[in-house]
Structure 1
Amino acid sequence: MSVPTIVVAVKAVIVQDDHLLIIKRAADDEVNPGTWELVGGKLDFGETLEHALEREVFEESGLCVAVQQLLYATTFLTDPNRQVVIMTYLAHPIVTTVTLSEEHSDARWVTADEAQKLLHRPILDDLDSHDVWAFLQPKMIN
């Protein structure tokens, strides 16, 4: 029997003008291959949430970001002994040129409407249930 584990992850809703950044998992990824997601990853022991987010965003996209605020937190089980806690933050890029890691195959700056067509359904459900689209609307203007 495996020991119950809790994994803490951080994700970023990176907004630049009227677009947000989404990235596509590589086709050979173990978890949800080929799906679109927000940038982010796991917290390393001893890191602050904000530092983990800055590190993960840089590792996955090559972007340096200014972390703005926590948008929401959610949790779910990936199996009976593994729980994931995700903290999703609003962030703004300091530069907008994306350099992807090998974990991802594509990146796009998309409108909110485009994001709602591309993002993986569980991510959309979280964004919807926490009213993120309404919160972002005044922030996503030219």
Structure 2
Amino acid sequence: MGDANQIVVAVKGIIIHEGKFLIVQRSLHDSGGGTWEFPGGKLDFGEQLEMALAREIQEETGLAVRVKHILYATSFFTHAHRQVVINTYLCTADHRDVMLSFEHSDHRWVDFAEAQNYLPENIKKDFERYHVADMPEFLHM
């Protein structure tokens, strides 16, 4: 059964507060440890996308966010039989007091220029492909 194909659905949030957005660094003990990403996680069976995202962000950062709308969706293979579909949403938060869970070791509030120093190539490519910086919500950054 090990050769069965698997599709994993995940949700991520670009959380905006006062002209910056939140990125988090995966803990070293986790797969992909040390890489920077947006908070979020896998969808549990029966969950709505937006509710799963709000739950994951709360668990990972302690932030209660408002999920606004989807920005883009993308997919990639982690290996030959496992494909991940990521839906990335715009979110807002009332403050930036982050309390990280064990899943992440660091966080930063960044603008687009600062994000270039942290985000991995695949996320930067998604930003370009979907023209995220040109979206009205981000033009003031």
Structure 2 residue identity aligned to 1:41: G
TM-score normalised by L of structure 2? 0.93
Write the distance in 2 (CA, Å) between the matches of 1:48 and 1:68. 14
Write the distance in 2 (CA, Å) between the matches of 1:101 and 1:116. 24
SS of equivalent residue, structure 1 residue 52 = helix
Q: Which residue of 2 aligns with 1:90?
A: 90
TM-score normalised by L of structure 1? 0.92
CA, structure 1 residues 90+139, in 2 after alignment: closer, same or farther (shift >3 Å)? farther
Does the Cα contact within 8 Å between 1:70 and 1:90 map onto a contact in 2?
Answer: yes
- RMSD value, Cα: 1.2
Write the distance in 2 (CA, Å) between the matches of 1:69 and 1:139. 18
How far apart are 1:49 and its partner, in Å? 0.2
Q: Which residue of 1 aligns with 2:127?
A: 127
Count of residues paired in the alignment: 139
**Which 5+ residue runs of structure 2 have no aligned equivalent?**
none
State whether structure 2 residue 92 is matched by structure 1 residue 99: no
Does the Cα contact within 8 Å between 1:17 and 1:139 map onto a contact in 2?
Answer: no
Does the Cα contact within 8 Å between 2:133 and 2:139 map onto a contact in 1?
Answer: no
Which is further off, 58-67 or 131-140?
A: 131-140
Which runs of at least 4 in structure 1 moved beyond 6 Å after TM superposition? Answer: none
Write the distance in 2 (CA, Å) between the matches of 1:139 and 1:50. 25
Write the distance in 2 (CA, Å) between the matches of 1:139 and 1:91. 16
How far apart are 1:117 and its partner, in Å? 1.6
What's the % identity of the aligned pairs?
A: 48
Does the Cα contact within 8 Å between 1:66 and 1:94 map onto a contact in 2?
Answer: no
Write the distance in 2 (CA, Å) between the matches of 1:10 and 1:104. 16
